[in-house]
Structure 1
Amino acid sequence: MRMDYEQNEDKDTSLDQDSEPESPFLPSDILEPLGHYAWSFRDHVRKKIVPPPEMLQMFSEQRKNPVFLECRIPRMTEDVARNALLSFVHSKCCYGNRAARELVIQELKPQTLYRYRLETFNETRLCEWTFEPYTTGLIDGPQNGAPPPPWDIKVQPPQMFQEDTKKFRVPHTSLVKECHKCHGRGRYKCSGCHGAGRMRCVTCSGARQKAKAKYLKHHKRCQMCSGSGRRRCSTCSGRGNKTCLTCRGEKKLLHFIQLTITWKNNVFEFIFEHQMNFPRELLNKTMGENIFKDENTQVYPLIDFPYPEIALASQRAIAEHNASFTSTSHILQQRQTVELIPVTEVHYCYAEKMYLYYIYGMENKVHALDYPERYCCGCTII
């Protein structure tokens, strides 16, 4: 059997290497620089975010005037407050509705909260060398012309403030090379059996027979390997080699520069509230009423807003976004809004005790931590 192993190994011309392919990043010396994409080799990086030309960052001079919208928040009444609490109680399996029906509302205390939001919709372009197995077909290489600069490639952006990612093959960057993993062989030697196609039997450890029991000297022929001491390799199914996973057996790779365009909506939020014992995370998930809207290629900080805290938040947000995104991406649009979030403190009496709950948002959501009629039924309340 040793002779069979050596003969099989001599006939195998596949490459002796690990069973798993290497990283898709290939040695940079097998490709040549291409025009605007020479950074791939000069800087020893294979992917790079390409900053847009300065001309793309010129903001439009045509500005839409900021719009102050009419506030249409309905007035809170005792009936609305009671119905909101009843809906909240019905959504909780451990809450009884008797207290909600019989409570006596003592005071409705409205509060005014403002939420400032800045949205910056930007476009980022990243170039990187990649490859795929080459079968047949035309090769759009440098012989067809110089590759266009990344930001000269025209694409249709999505609707404003709608995030998306698309990938494109940069024209005139395709090159065909032999597979760098298998060196053009299309396969590599199995690391389990080293190309022999057979391995030592794990049942008898290659002894061709096994003892009936540890305390007996009698042996019998191994049934798993039929007494040969070797079994077919399970890794390669006895073939001795495996298809190269990098080129999928095609022996050649089509290399090209891939352009990845990402449109992202970056959001800055600030909530201005008076001193109130109310969880801020609940306000982040509720709807408010828009009272101000400003949208343009570039927006400017708010001036003379009734609450200086909102104006300061606007200045900080715009400065942060412009500093973060202008140098690496193209800002397509900005939008800043101010919303009024209605919050009402409801003080009520039940069973001669005073309680409090909040009604917040345009949806009339309820926050009530000390509701008097709660029971433990073993469930988890979120």
Structure 2
Amino acid sequence: MAQRSQALGIQTPYNYGTMNPIPAQGTYDFIPGAGMAQGPEPSAPPISGYEGTTFGDGGGKYFPPPPDLVPDRGGNAHPEHTDWSIPAITEDEAQEALVQYAASKCCYSSAPAKDMLFQDLHSFNTYRYRLETFTESRSSLWKTEPYTGEAVDSCLYSTPPLPWDMNVEVPEMFKDSVKRVRVPCTSSVKGCPVCACSGRRPCSTCHGCSREQCWVCNGKGFQFSDQRCSSCGGIGNIMCRTCSGMGTTACTNCKGKGQLLQYIELQVEWKNNVFEHVVDQRTGFPTELFKEVNGKKLFVDEQYMVYPVVDFPDNDINQASRNAVQQHQTRFASTARIVRQRQTIELIFLTKVEYEWRGKSHSYYVYGNEHRVHVEDYPATCCCTII
């Protein structure tokens, strides 16, 4: 049997406790297309470089990248900054933003926005620093699928490539992605443990009896008090519709084949890990609103591994960059491959507008490239009644 199995490229089952082949008694005869005798479920064969790989869809075995895949920092240590100029919003832009805001609210009058008298514009423009670290991690899982007689890519033919030796194309940068690849030379055939290699299981409807309760008379044998059921002829049961009276159905685990092809699947996951810091200007503005808007990019630095920013006019940004680069290096370098990094500094527009309307002072904020408006107490609202 062992010779036939090797000729077909099929692994002999192993006992992991002794690393010896399981005795012939009670094993499966792995001949594609032939019937298989019932016996103990064979274990996955040992595959060099993938020891510890488990079955199932849970967390697989992760493989840290080898040292030669950790890139050195390249490019400029301290990129030159070309433009630190800070533009300001105009009164016309501030007024138009409030007009649009009022128009978007069904209960807000546009009168305050159109008839306002400007008192002052306070610019509290702030900065947002972001570091993106695009990483790649690799893990393995044993997978099974119904065996349909195809050629078996066994490790008897060749040595399987190690997890980080497999060439997997990197997808679009800085976007999360997952690819699943079958590892060559890791396949083998085993008997289906669910149906004991028969390809059939007892029907879940009739429990192997081939008949089920009549659905017309609910097993009573009569449709009315004195009329025999026309469906079951009065016996109260009919041939099982699920299994067509056979008492068994095709095994869902092996799709009726009785055999499973097992192999190692390499799961490659790319993830964009983001560190973000917004300088707090202590203006009373709810800073969580900044997540809804974009800013003006003042600085973009993209390399395999970036250097911390050191000469930005606001030292809070310099400190945030140092913390981010160190944090990501410590967190990811030993567990995943850092594919690329990108750091940006954005100017986020934030202006507090003070104005007068009908003899009273009011204020609102304009923020972001989109000129969003934040108002704590709009002076002209009404209550709508829905009937």
Give the TM-score taking structure 2 as reference length: 0.81
Deviation at 1:70, TM superposition (A): 1.6
- Report the counterpart of residue 95 of structure 2 in structure 1: 82
- Report the counterpart of residue 171 of structure 2 in structure 1: 158
Alignment partners' CA distance in 1, 2:99 and 2:317: 35
Alignment partners' CA distance in 2, 1:317 and 1:199: 67
Q: Which moved more, 1:258-267 or 1:136-145?
A: 136-145
Which of 144, 160, 165 matches 2:157?
144
Establish whether residue 362 from structure 1 lines up as the match of residue 369 from structure 2. yes
- Report the counterpart of residue 135 of structure 2 in structure 1: 122
- Return the letter of the residue paired with 2:238: R
Greater fraction of residues in helix = 1
Note the aligned Cα RMSD (angstroms): 2.5
- Report the counterpart of residue 50 of structure 1 in structure 2: 63
Superposed CA offset, 1:249-276 (max 9, x none): 1222211111111111110111112111
Alignment partners' CA distance in 1, 2:59 and 2:371: 53
Residues 31-50 of structure 1: pairs in structure 2 closer than 5 A: 31-40=44-53, 47-50=60-63
- Cα pair 2:73 2:307 within 8 Å, conserved: no
Deviation at 1:181, TM superposition (A): 1.8
Which of 158, 167, 179 matches 2:192?
179
Residues matched between the structures, number: 344
- Cα pair 1:124 1:329 within 8 Å, conserved: yes
Alignment partners' CA distance in 2, 1:249 and 1:31: 21
- Report the counterpart of residue 119 of structure 2 in structure 1: 106
- Return the letter of the residue paired with 1:335: R
Q: Which moved more, 1:184-193 or 1:108-117?
A: 184-193
Alignment partners' CA distance in 2, 1:140 and 1:63: 47
Superposed CA offset, 1:153-197 (max 9, x none): 112212321332111111111112222221221120113312122
* Higher RCO structure (Cα 8 Å, ≥6 apart): 1
Cα–Cα, structure 1 residues 118 and 179, in superposed 2: closer, same or farther, change >3 Å?
same
Deviation at 1:200, TM superposition (A): 3.7
SS at match of 1:40: coil
SS at match of 2:326: helix
Superposed CA offset, 1:50-72 (max 9, x none): 11111111424444642424246
Establish whether residue 307 from structure 1 lines up as the match of residue 314 from structure 2. yes
- Report the counterpart of residue 275 of structure 2 in structure 1: 268
- Return the letter of the residue paired with 2:282: Q
Cα–Cα, structure 1 residues 174 and 63, in superposed 2: closer, same or farther, change >3 Å?
farther
- Cα pair 1:33 1:40 within 8 Å, conserved: no
- Return the letter of the residue paired with 1:351: R
- Report the counterpart of residue 359 of structure 2 in structure 1: 352
Residues 238-249 of structure 1: pairs in structure 2 closer than 5 A: 238-249=245-256
- Report the counterpart of residue 23 of structure 2 in structure 1: none
Alignment partners' CA distance in 1, 2:92 and 2:300: 33
Gap runs ≥5 in structure 1: 1-26, 213-218
Deviation at 1:378, TM superposition (A): 5.7
- Report the counterpart of residue 15 of structure 1 in structure 2: none
- Cα pair 2:41 2:191 within 8 Å, conserved: no
% identical aligned pairs: 41
Residues 212-291 of structure 1: pairs in structure 2 closer than 5 A: 212=225, 221-222=228-229, 225-291=232-298
SS at match of 1:30: coil
Which of 194, 200, 205 matches 1:192?
205
Q: Which moved more, 1:182-191 or 1:299-308?
A: 299-308
Superposed CA offset, 1:274-326 (max 9, x none): 11121222111211122233322222333354333323322322232222212
Cα–Cα, structure 1 residues 52 and 355, in superposed 2: closer, same or farther, change >3 Å?
same
- Cα pair 1:140 1:174 within 8 Å, conserved: yes
Alignment partners' CA distance in 2, 1:227 and 1:28: 46
Deviation at 1:344, TM superposition (A): 0.6
SS at match of 1:144: coil
